[in-house]
Chain A
Amino acid sequence: MASDRRHPQLDRIVGPFAEMVLADDLPRLPAQRRAEVVEFVQRRASAVPSFTRFGVTVIGLFYRGLLVAPSGRVIARFLMSRPVPVLAEYPRLIRSLGYAYVWERWPDTLRDGTPA
């Protein structure tokens, strides 16, 4: 169906952010696995309903801007740790998708991403 199409622009927004979240949370997750998780997160983000996709794009662009700004990662991490309405939903979505994938695919992974 049309809604199952990938959105390359969204991939470019979601991908680097998912990389950052996974690198922070699961630093010992092997690179190949991390790439697989990021690909999954991008695919799911492309499939969300159109209005949600719009929101993900807008908030994702905000975070992408932070990631390239000086000290932006520090600010991004601070925002991610606070229950800020709307802004906090995006990292939560990325994290939820990533964790669900990691532990379904490799259930005995340790908390830092180390393979069992």
Chain B
Amino acid sequence: MNATATTPGTVAMDAEVLIVGSGAGGATTAAVLAGAGFDVLIVEEGEWVEQGSVVPFSLEQMDRQYRAGGVTVALGLPSIAYTEGRCAGGGTEINSGLYRRPPDDVLQRWAANFRIADLDHDEVHSIANEVEQALSVSTVPGPPSAPSDVLRRGADGLGWQNSEIPRWMKYDHHDPAKGQRQSMTRTYLPQAVAAGARLVTGCRIDALEMGNGTARRATTTLADGRRGIITFRHVFVCGGAIQSPALLQRSRIPGHIGRSLAVHPTVKLAARFTDELNVPDDVPVHQVREFAPDLSFGGSASQPGLVALALSDQWATFGRSIVDWRRISVYYAAITSEGRGRVRAVRGLRDPIVTYGLTGRDRALLGSGLARLALLMLEAGADEVYPSFRGAPLVRKRADLAAMRSAFSVARASVMTVHLCSTVPMGEDTTKCGADSFGRVHGTANVWVNDASLLPTAPGVNPQGTVMALSIRNARRFASTEHSRG
């Protein structure tokens, strides 16, 4: 860390390019720019946690690698729980690791509706090829885990389209259960550091100091409470779809910032089978996309604490089954929402206020999605299905689904989401875009956003592959433009 003490208790740093955040957007940006010869400083609010030092999906992991211990919520009726990574590598350290390419129809729609210049599909797919190689994107060598096979079996039985989603994982071919996640701390961050980038963890960027549309300094708070400043020529804000717009707002940057949060809301159920199948530290790799992009089904983390959580809304009747947690796994129905949310930084509050409103169509889709997911579970051989909403009936046979469907209301359900995006949409249409076609914030000279915030809408698939491809595209454009300026 190239830090020098100036006044007592103040730390000063400088860089040609400051990158705020080290997740899928920040790490790739850093690797591209450091590789192109820029003096890069990456600043990460969380700590570096070595892979394998915490159990995946455990409460300890939430303590150390999630923002606010994983207890974050978008306010609304109902409120929607969400999670954000807060550690070196960001969300890539804690998510499912499932990889999807940016869908062509989505790219096409974004380019047309948001006037994104030069969004060349061939270029994006060529970058996706590079990303897939760098992250060892692959399928499980051998049979899927039992919870994953439930999705395949149920969908096959119903004639529904399903497939194994590849992951960025290096598998041990002798023991496929021993895969190693190729998250940012294993790939693009070391690559950036090897190319000369510096990484500082435990440092929060409080605000950017702006003058005439140009940012020159960032004010910071270190983990030990000391304040600091960072001077730079260019800044890339890559803190994710909540923190990036919040930082821009705290810096008084106007424009379409934080007004169009998009998510994939999910509802859950737990299903019990006759044989033991629970895999506490991993998630299923199959997804059912028969009804995509509106609706898709997949598997969730299912360690016993999370099984209890899934049963907790109807504990009086479902609680007895917690002793069977080894025979239970948790699944979700996710929708592509037409609702929108907002991120608002409020003076005097450290954290932004996040809100989200579901539409009537979203609510209906969540209800029908949960019913279809329950049907899929029965088809796969579940002997009992426990929908996660207050007042839910126990589902043992198809005839129970009608009662479940009529008892469901979103207000009674535990709605959550993991894919947050679209808070600084990219494009030339300034009425709905916060950044230009390559991520430069409209109205600024040297402030870029390069993370999930840029995706104009929720892509309908796991977004990390799309985020990485677009981040690399934008960083390359920045590097070539700066080099041509000399």
User: Could you list which residues of chain A lie within 8 angstroms of chain B, going by C-beta atoms?
Assistant: 1-3, 25, 40, 43-45, 47-52, 55, 83, 85, 89, 92-93, 95-97, 99-105, 107-111
Given contacts A96-B312, A100-B309, list 7 more A-B pairs with CB under 8 A: A3-B351, A48-B72, A49-B351, A51-B346, A92-B313, A99-B312, A103-B305
In the complex, whether B325 has a CB less than 8 A from a CB of chain A is yes
Closest chain A residue to B45 by CB distance?
A1
Closest chain B residue to A104 by CB distance?
B305
Q: A1-B223, A2-B225, A104-B303 are in contact. Are A83 and B350 (CB under 8 A)?
A: no
Q: A2-B225, A52-B72, A103-B307 are in contact. Are A85 and B77 (CB under 8 A)?
A: yes
Q: How far is the CB of A72 from chain B (nearest CB, A)?
A: 22
Q: How far is the CB of B230 from chain A (nearest CB, A)?
A: 17
* A83 and B305 contacting across the interface, CB-CB below 8 Å: no
Q: A50-B350, A111-B319, A111-B320 are in contact. Are A101 and B305 (CB under 8 A)?
A: yes
- Could you name 25 residue pairs across A and B whose Cβ atoms are closer than 8 Å? A1-B45, A1-B221, A40-B59, A44-B71, A47-B68, A49-B67, A49-B352, A50-B350, A51-B346, A51-B349, A51-B353, A85-B78, A89-B73, A95-B312, A100-B308, A102-B305, A103-B304, A103-B325, A104-B305, A107-B305, A108-B323, A109-B322, A110-B322, A111-B320, A111-B323
Count A/B pairs, Cβ under 8 Å: 102
* B305 and A111 contacting across the interface, CB-CB below 8 Å: no
* A83 and B68 contacting across the interface, CB-CB below 8 Å: no
In the complex, whether B430 has a CB less than 8 A from a CB of chain A is no
Q: How far is the CB of A113 from chain B (nearest CB, A)?
A: 10
Q: Which residues of A contact B308 (CB under 8 A)?
A: 99-100, 102-103
In the complex, whether B58 has a CB less than 8 A from a CB of chain A is yes
* B390 and A83 contacting across the interface, CB-CB below 8 Å: yes
* A25 and B315 contacting across the interface, CB-CB below 8 Å: yes
Query: Contact flags (1/0) for B348-392 with A, using CB distance below 8 Å?
Result: 011111000000000000000000000000000000000000110
Q: A51-B346, A85-B411 are in contact. Are A100 and B351 (CB under 8 A)?
A: no
Q: Which residues of B contact A25 (CB under 8 A)?
A: 315
Q: Which residues of B contact A85 (CB under 8 A)?
A: 77-78, 411
* A103 and B73 contacting across the interface, CB-CB below 8 Å: no
Q: Which residues of A contact B414 (CB under 8 A)?
A: 92, 96
- Complex: how many Å from CA A43 to CA B225? 20
* B325 and A107 contacting across the interface, CB-CB below 8 Å: yes
In the complex, whether B162 has a CB less than 8 A from a CB of chain A is no
Q: How far is the CB of B206 from chain A (nearest CB, A)?
A: 11
B411-439 residues at the A interface, CB under 8 angstroms? 411-412, 414
Q: A104-B305, A107-B325, A111-B320 are in contact. Are A47 and B71 (CB under 8 A)?
A: yes
Closest chain A residue to B225 by CB distance?
A2
Q: Which residues of A contact B304 (CB under 8 A)?
A: 103-104, 107
* B69 and A83 contacting across the interface, CB-CB below 8 Å: no
* A93 and B59 contacting across the interface, CB-CB below 8 Å: no
Q: How far is the CB of A86 from chain B (nearest CB, A)?
A: 8
Query: Contact flags (1/0) for B267-308 with A, using CB distance below 8 Å?
Result: 000000000000000000000000000000000000111111
Q: Which residues of A contact B346 (CB under 8 A)?
A: 51
- Most chain B CB neighbours (cut-off 10 Å) among A2, A83, A105, A108: A83
Q: Which residues of B contact A47 (CB under 8 A)?
A: 68-69, 71
Closest chain A residue to B224 by CB distance?
A1
Q: Which residues of B contact A48 (CB under 8 A)?
A: 68-69, 71-72
Closest chain A residue to B86 by CB distance?
A1
Q: How far is the CB of B253 from chain A (nearest CB, A)?
A: 21
- Complex: how many Å from CA A77 to CA B153? 42
In the complex, whether B79 has a CB less than 8 A from a CB of chain A is yes
- Complex: how many Å from CA A48 to CA B352? 12
- Complex: how many Å from CA A40 to CA B72? 16
* A96 and B204 contacting across the interface, CB-CB below 8 Å: no
Q: A2-B225, A51-B351 are in contact. Are A93 and B71 (CB under 8 A)?
A: yes
In the complex, whether B187 has a CB less than 8 A from a CB of chain A is no
Q: How far is the CB of B239 from chain A (nearest CB, A)?
A: 14
Q: Which residues of A contact B221 (CB under 8 A)?
A: 1-2
* A44 and B69 contacting across the interface, CB-CB below 8 Å: yes
In the complex, whether B446 has a CB less than 8 A from a CB of chain A is no
Closest chain A residue to B72 by CB distance?
A49
By Cβ-Cβ distance, the 8 closest A-B pairs, closest first, are A104-B305, A49-B351, A111-B319, A107-B304, A103-B308, A100-B305, A99-B308, A103-B304
Q: How far is the CB of A85 from chain B (nearest CB, A)?
A: 5
Q: Which residues of A contact B202 (CB under 8 A)?
A: 1
Q: How far is the CB of A10 from chain B (nearest CB, A)?
A: 13
- Complex: how many Å from CA A40 to CA B62? 13
